[in-house]
């Protein structure tokens, strides 16, 4: 039952539409770009990093890191640092192997970023393996599902005007979806106008969420947060620089709208001060950055603080989505799970059997392991 092979696969797939709408016509199609007012790098491609772990008896487990840029970095860490530590080990030793991987570079300060993304990909693959070896879906191994389906919100309405965003949201309403997240950060007045327009178009029954992408000061965030509370917004995500826990704590105390945080963090250690300092009401770890093991531990810790979970789920291409659905099913304090339709469509092209999301809910895969298998032939054909 020992692990005999660990393979890392960087992936880059051409896309026609970005999460935030539109793509630059760069001279170099491989170049990353910045999309003001946001400061992060974006790619003109869907980029990710898969890991394939094989046991001596030929069982394969698939994992995936959230790697929207430079997936080769994650793959190099897996191949050079993590694979040697996993070879010959028993994949059933989940917690032991997570700590073995985490301790490799811990004293050197690599307890976040790309190192944890690589560990998370391997952690997901190990859960997939354990499910297959024990002939159980991952959510069963996590203690069972608290819900038959996982509720979700549509993330991003990539249209340039408020009217066009409202029209797109209404199309999803016709399909049974009724929760939506806007990409904000364009200035307090513009963000308020944007959410007011969507509220007016959809009515009070719709759940509206706002992601500011870390662009505001404390004062600006407080002004926006007060307006959002009056509109019944479900959460205000990423309002201030993620390093500034104290300002988030002050904001959470000053406004009634729940403050959401977490896509930048990877471990229970990083999330702990956000709970103890009451800086976030809703935690958003990404399974592609935290893995299944840590996500469940973060959820358990959050439960003790009466905080909810709304896992971040951006450009995971199939394996990461399935892993997140399993984790979300097994979390008692789940709020909502993220759903990006363009990403979901591409992800399903890579899977032998597609995942299902309809009428505001993900269906939980019921077969052994994660319940999905990558189609490596399609993967090769779709790569840019």
Q: Is residue 30 part of a domain?
A: yes
Handedness of CA 26, 29, 34, 36 (dihedral sign): positive
| Residue 10 confidence (pLDDT) | 95
Do 176 and 112 lie in one domain? The reply is no
Q: Which of 107, 135, 163 is the last residue of a domain?
A: 135
Domain enclosing residue 22, as ranges: 3-135
Do 221 and 86 lie in one domain? The reply is no
Say which residue the tokens 């192997």 belong to.
Answer: 97
For 243-268, write each residue's pLDDT tens digit. Answer: 999 999 999 999 999 999 999 999 99
Do 114 and 154 lie in one domain? The reply is no
Do 90 and 238 lie in one domain? The reply is no
The 10 Å CB-count burial string (b at 16+, else e) for 207-246 is: bbbbbbbbbbebebbbbbbebbeebebbbbbbbbbbebbe
Q: Which of 135, 153, 174 is the last residue of a domain?
A: 135
Which of the four pLDDT bands, split at 50, 70 and 90, describes residue 326?
very high
Which of these is catalytic: 213, 248, 261, 312?
A: 312
CATH code for the domain in which residue 34 is found: 3.30.390.10
For 199-229, write each residue's pLDDT tens digit. Answer: 999 999 999 999 999 999 999 999 999 999 9
Q: Is residue 377 part of a domain?
A: no
Do 147 and 123 lie in one domain? The reply is no
Mention every residue, 6+ apart, whose C-beta is less than 8 A from residue 203. Answer: none
282 forms beta bridges with 260, 308
| Residue 311 confidence (pLDDT) | 98
Let me know: does 283 contact 274? Beta carbons within 8 Å. yes
Which of the four pLDDT bands, split at 50, 70 and 90, describes residue 380?
confident
Q: Is residue 213 part of a domain?
A: yes
Tell me the C-alpha to C-alpha distance, in Å, between residue 149 and each of 163, 311, 328, 355. Answer: 32, 15, 10, 12
The yes-or-no answer on residue 261 being catalytic is no
Tell me the C-alpha to C-alpha distance, in Å, between residue 93 and each of 3, 322, 348, 379. Answer: 11, 21, 30, 30
CA distance 170 to 217: 32
Q: Is residue 208 part of a domain?
A: yes
Do 204 and 285 lie in one domain? The reply is yes
Which of the four pLDDT bands, split at 50, 70 and 90, describes residue 27?
very low
Do 232 and 272 lie in one domain? The reply is yes
Q: Which of 105, 135, 165 is the last residue of a domain?
A: 135
CA distance 193 to 206: 17
Do 266 and 196 lie in one domain? The reply is yes
| Burial of residue 263 (number of CB atoms within 10 Å: 0-12, 13-18, 19+) | buried
Q: Is residue 383 part of a domain?
A: no
Do 177 and 110 lie in one domain? The reply is no
Do 75 and 203 lie in one domain? The reply is no
Do 228 and 202 lie in one domain? The reply is yes
Total structural domains in the chain? Answer: 2
For 296-310, write each residue's pLDDT tens digit. Answer: 999 999 999 999 999
In 3D, which of 354, 361, 323, 319 has the Cα closest to residue 339?
Answer: 361
Q: Is residue 40 part of a domain?
A: yes
């Amino acid at each position: 039952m020992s692990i005999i092979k660990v393979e890392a696969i960087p992936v880059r797939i051409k896309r026609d539409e970005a999460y935030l709408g539109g793509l630059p016509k760069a001279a170099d199609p491989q170049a990353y770009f910045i999309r003001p007012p946001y400061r992060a790098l974006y790619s003109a491609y869907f980029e990710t990093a898969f890991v394939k772990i094989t046991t001596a008896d030929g069982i394969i487990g698939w994992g995936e890191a959230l790697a929207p840029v430079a997936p080769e970095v994650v793959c190099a860490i897996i191949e050079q640092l993590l694979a040697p530590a996993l070879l010959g080990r028993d994949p059933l030793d989940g917690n032991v192997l997570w700590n073995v991987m985490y301790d490799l570079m811990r004293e050197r300060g690599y307890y976040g970023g790309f190192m944890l993304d690589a560990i998370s990909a391997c952690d997901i693959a190990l859960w997939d393996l354990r499910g297959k070896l024990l002939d159980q879906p991952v959510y069963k191994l996590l203690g069972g599902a608290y819900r038959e389906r996982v509720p979700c919100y549509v993330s991003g309405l990539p249209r340039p005007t408020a009217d066009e965003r409202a029209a797109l949201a209404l199309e999803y309403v016709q399909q049974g979806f009724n929760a939506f997240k806007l990409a904000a950060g364009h200035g307090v007045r513009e963000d308020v106008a944007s959410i007011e327009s969507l509220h007016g178009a959809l009515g009070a029954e719709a759940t509206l969420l706002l992601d500011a992408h870390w662009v505001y000061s404390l004062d600006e965030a407080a002004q926006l947060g007060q307006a959002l509370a009056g509109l019944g917004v479900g959460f205000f995500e990423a309002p201030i620089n993620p390093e500034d826990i104290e300002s988030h704590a002050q904001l959470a105390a000053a406004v009634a709208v729940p403050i959401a945080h977490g896509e930048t963090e990877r471990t229970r250690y990083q999330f702990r001060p956000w709970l103890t300092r009451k800086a976030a009401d809703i935690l958003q770890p990404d399974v592609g950055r935290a893995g299944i093991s840590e996500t469940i531990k973060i959820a358990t810790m959050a439960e003790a603080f009466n905080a909810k979970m709304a896992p971040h789920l951006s450009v995971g291409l199939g394996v990461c989505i399935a892993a997140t659905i399993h984790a979300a099913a097994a979390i008692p304090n789940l709020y909502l799970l993220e759903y990006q339709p363009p990403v979901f469509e591409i992800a399903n092209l890579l899977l032998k059997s597609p995942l299902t999301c309809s009428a505001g809910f993900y269906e939980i895969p019921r077969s052994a392991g994660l319940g999905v298998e990558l189609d490596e032939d399609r993967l090769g054909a779709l790569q840019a």
